[in-house]
Structure 1
Amino acid sequence: MAENTPTKLNGAERAAIFLMSLGEENASQVLKHMGPKEVQRVGAAMATMTNVSREQVENVLGDFMETYDNQTNLGVGSEEYIRKVLVDALGEEKAGTMVDRILLGHNTKGLESLKWMDARAVAELIRLEHPQIMAIVLSYLDSDHAAEVIAFLPERVRVDVLLRIATLDGIQPAALQELDEIMERQFSGNQNTIQSSGVGGVKSTADILNFIDSSMEAEIMDMIKDADAELGQQIQDLMFVFDNLVDVDDMGVQALLREVSSETLIIALKGADEGVKEKIFKNMSKRASEMLRDDLEAKGPVRISEVETAQKEILAIARRMAEAGDISLGGKGAEEYV
């Protein structure tokens, strides 16, 4: 961390420096207003930061104060000001969810509580609910969390729930409010108003399936296609799979490789497409690529399940980096940037 310059700090690291500068009590008050994913990312950045230079601290605090000073008293409470400060601190991707919660009233006590719960506990809580209720709840969770919950649900309802998520085109605020109240009563919480109902959709289903175990994912996709071939194809087109790494730009692949262990990479490439292998070799030094080729040749037979697990691990790292804004994923379902 000592060698980093202020311009190289990512959003989570800048937020971590800012919070550590506030002191324990003030930092804890800020964290109370953040969601589980934001807390996890900023907390992880805090835990790994060592030898933070005075220049870095001054740069982060200076940027914040400059933003603050440029606002009028009337602007401090405005939507644009809140959005700008959060984006500057956490980055566009991570700040988006928090802006929604603050400005659109998404920080609902009942449903929001589920985001902090263990996946098994959430599954136990909703397992007796109607599949449509399950679909709404899962749509409200982060994709990786929802995938973990689905793994604990009975097999007979998994496909039904995912199909309902895919065809869910938002719900009436009153209905979402009622669901939130039900959850609140279970947690003995207080009621807040819900102002948005944009949950579910094909992309949401694809995101969830991206995090599901490979063997289960294949089985579920087959069943979805049997039930609705066109919808199944739409979902598959939006999923990011290991072969899609060929569409990631070279800088992104190089950044990803720095986060992946050699053993995981070797196992993952044993079952990879030749195009993906060449993409990886291309983005390594000549010596490193030669060593990797030798290791691949020397590696004996590997179980398909081990290959799929390794590939899933790499994909999870890639998605995490994409969410942090460190890389841009390609693939058919990826968003384009201009």
Structure 2
Amino acid sequence: MAVAFRDLFGRRGAAKHQDVAARVTGLAQGWSIEITPKQAAKLERIPLPKGTRVNIAYLPDEDAAQILQTAARLVFEGMVPVPHVPARTLASAEALDVYLRGLAAVGVREALVIGGGVANQQGPFSSSMDVLETGLFQELGFARIAVAGHPEGSPDIDAHGLAGALAAKNEWAARSGMTVELMTQFCFDGRQVLLWEQAIRDAGNRLPIRIGLPGPASIKSLLRYAQMCGVGNSLSFLSKRAGNVLQLVTAAEPDGFVVDLANAVAGDRDNLIAGLHFYPFGGFDKTAAYAKALAEGSFTMESDGEGFAVTA
């Protein structure tokens, strides 16, 4: 039996059920998902619809060869690979050049450029902007770039630095002519995300935003990943509502969070939230099936209209 995020977090009133369902389905169109090379290697077949965007996480214990191999496989199976390019992990300008040329050679045309959460900078790049300013993405024919968004701040940069970085990313997007979007770390608190979106929009952000959220997972797993990834507000928020030990091992689903986002987008035509990105903390197959169900409308609204249950 699953516990919905709304039951953990508390909810607001809802609109008509059919309207909310349509909003959820609309927001879920074009969803994307995260994978690691190790996860991909365990899958005989990638269980995703053709054309799905799949972010390939470049973790500290991975290397470029593993990312390239996973990207080539995703292209072969009809997906759209979006490999991470972690600035502070790259040992040299040559390493970046070789990595991006390798990705381009296997058919990659999109990337997520991030600072990279390593304790010690490995080479000349200290930020995502350092990588973007090399001009390599334009030279190699990349068509779409995602950059990081931080609704809960970042352990690597203060609020003033984040504001400056976001302004620089907006300026680079306009100057480069490339399609650029913000992709956030995973979050649990819809209210926090919506306040952040409004704040950065007021400050001048014009980039569309893809919101990161966990797929179905146990509360225990969510707490562990929140702690590992430094999403402090969500960690505190989730800890206060985790309940007893039994609830820690109970599955939680993000339906209430998704409803909040879908209603907010419908109620504000200037809202820049443009899609969902799923982190498969509860298993890749399970998360992929959940995301697919949302996009297909394979869910039933709860009686209060504030959440839903997947039916397929």
The TM-score with structure 2 as length reference comes to 0.31
Larger C-alpha radius of gyration, 1 or 2? 1
- Which of the two has greater strand per residue? 2
Q: Considering Cα pairs closer than 8 Å and 6+ residues apart, tell me whether 1 or 2 has the greater RCO.
A: 2
- Which of the two has greater helix per residue? 1
The TM-score with structure 1 as length reference comes to 0.29
